[in-house]
Structure formats: structure tokens, C-alpha cells
Amino acid sequence: MQNIPSVDLTDFLSRDPKRKEKFVLEIGKAYEEIGFVALKGHFLSDQLTTNLYTEVKHFFNLPETTKINYEIEGIGGQRGYTSFGKESAKGKTEGDLKEFWHFGQEVKNNKKLHAEYPKNVLVKELKNFNKVGIETYKNLEKTATYVLRALALYIGLDEFYFDNYITNGNSILRPIHYPPIVGKPKGAVRAAAHGDINLITLLMGASAAGLEVQQKNGDWIPVTALPDQLVVNVGDMLERLTNNKLRSTIHRVVNPPESEWGQSRFSIPFFTHPIGEMSLNCLKECISEATPKAYEDITAGDFLNERLKELGLIK
């Protein structure tokens, strides 16, 4: 396998049962094998993608003294700005060579979650930043809903199994800036090898190469996608829920060749999280004599808190 498989969401959205089944099998098998796909036919327009990247670049070009005003203490980086080097991969002491922003859920018709989630942070200097960010969030959340419906069918669940868990879920849209590298990094990379915490991640693309995924044999392969595709991968929550049937593949963002150290890299993933009460107990459909239960019972909220501590974002 030289790269990740490509699938088309319009197959699943069609009224043709054969095309729908084709998509379910393609994405399910890809997630069993490598945990990543390139997805076309999603709900994110080229114009909206361009608009968000424009706004994101404007934000990260603001002076450090301005950006730091949007770093909110006490919420583990769940909303607003997180400054350079604050986050590290599980088991790593070196901070990743990146800064980032978090857009979160705009809760509807749920007073409990409205009070529980931190509020989104409004950037005063950029009038369109939040508007474009939230619009992108909604389109990626809609795309994630249909991907998870396909995976529910592949696992043997009701098609709409995940819907109630990701409605008002604690999902995050994370614009990331990897600044130009100044001086030889001492053991740090732009993003150290890691698995994502959540159910699935949808990546809008990146302004430079660097993303790599690890195959079962340990080899690393670069991830490339066409401009109209999203890169969509399985996270640790879904791997745990499916008792390792679907793979949360280790991936990383490597430093560019020294000749390209002077260039910034931008990337915008959408981390699809469920509500905290969702059970991540291994599904009975994924447990057998050949594949006994591999994980202790836990909720999504408790699992998220454990991982945020491991990343150094909360104490």
C-alpha cells in the first residue's frame, strides 16, 4: 500500500443500496487495515475551506501579545488559543512545535451541556474568524455523522447508533500553525507520533507535506489527498469501543527538510467527540473467543480527561 484508500461519501448518500453497501465495506475494511481514508463527496465546500485558511493565517499572524489574550486558564485548552510548545504527545516530554486554536460545540436544546462546555472565544480583531470557523465546524460535524452511520452498519449496529451521542458532542475544530523552524530542534517534531483521542478525525488538508501514518509492519508512509478530499481517521475511542476491530493508527507530522525550515505549515483537523456520558465499553458485536474483551469499562468523558492529563493540558 503506497497511500491511504480513497472513498466517496456520495456512494453512501445515494439511493442505490449497492452503492451504499459498497461504501460501508470500503471504509470498514480500510479502517480495519490502516485506519485512514481520503474522503470525497463531503459537505465542506472549496470556498469555505479557503475562507477558513485565510482567517486562520490572519489570526496566527497577530502579535504574540495579542494572541496570548485568548489563552484561557483553567480549561485545559478546550477553547481559544494554546501557545507554542504547550502540548506534547503521550509519553513525550518535548512540546510539539505548534500553536493552535479550538472552536467548540454551540450547544442547542440542552441546558446541562450548555453549562458544562466552555464557551467559544470571540476574536475581536477579526470580524469573520468565528463565523467562518463555526460554519466549517457544522459542515464537518455533518460529514462525520454520515461516516459514523456507515461504520455503525459495518460493525453490525443500527445505522443511527452514534447520532444521539455526537449530537451536542464535545467535538473540537483545531486550526494548527507550525511556525518556521528556527535552529535545530532538540528532539522535538511538529507533532510527535500519537493516536487521536476521539471517535474519528476529519482533516481539511495541510499547506505543506509532513503527515505520515504507521503501517502494521512498522513502516511509515506519507499521507496525501487531493484538494477536494478530507483525510478521515479512526481515534482511540472508536478503537476501544470496537475492541480493536477498527484501528486508531499511530501518525505524526515530521519536520521538513532543512531547506524548508523557513516555511510555516497550517493544518485544520476536526476531532469528533461524543457526549461525556457515552459508554466506551467494548461492543458485544466485537467480542468473541478469538477477540476477547481488551479494555476496562469507561465513559467517553473519563477517557478524555485521562488523555488530556497525559498530554499535559490539564493537571
Digit-coded pLDDT (tens) for 117-174: 999 999 999 999 999 999 999 999 999 999 999 999 999 999 999 999 999 999 999 9
- DSSP letter, residue 71: B
Contact 202, 270 (CB under 8 A): yes
Q: Which of 251, 218, 216 is nearest to 232 (CA)?
A: 251
pLDDT of 256 reads 63
Residue 206's DSSP bridge partners are 267
- DSSP letter, residue 226: -
Find cell 498530554 and name the residue. 311
Span of 8-17, 96-105, 282-291 with lowest mean pLDDT: 96-105
Which residues fall within 8 angstroms of residue 214, CB to CB, at 6 or more apart? 193, 220, 249, 250, 251, 252
Residue 231's DSSP bridge partners are 38, 203
pLDDT at 35 over 70: yes
> What does the alpha-carbon distance between residue 237 and residue 234 come to, in Å, rounded to a whole number?
8
Q: Which of 167, 198, 197, 150 is nearest to 275 (CA)?
A: 167
pLDDT at 28 over 50: yes
Give the CA dihedral 60, 61, 63, 67, nearest 10 degrees.
-20
Answer with the residue of higher pLDDT: 250 or 120.
Answer: 120
Of the chain, the percentage scoring pLDDT greater than 90 comes to 66
State the alpha helices, DSSP H only, in the chain.
9-13, 17-33, 46-60, 64-67, 111-116, 129-155, 163-166, 236-241, 300-310
- DSSP letter, residue 299: B
Q: What is the pTM of this model?
A: 0.89
Q: Which of 271, 297, 268 is nearest to 283 (CA)?
A: 297
Domains parsed from the chain with CATH numbers:
6-310 (2.60.120.330)
Q: Dihedrals φ, ψ of 151, to 5°?
A: -70, -35
pLDDT, one tens digit per residue, over 216-249 is 788 888 887 777 899 999 999 999 999 999 999 8
Q: Determine how many CB atoms are found less than 10 A away from the CB of residue 115.
A: 8
pLDDT, one tens digit per residue, over 252-262 is 877 666 766 77
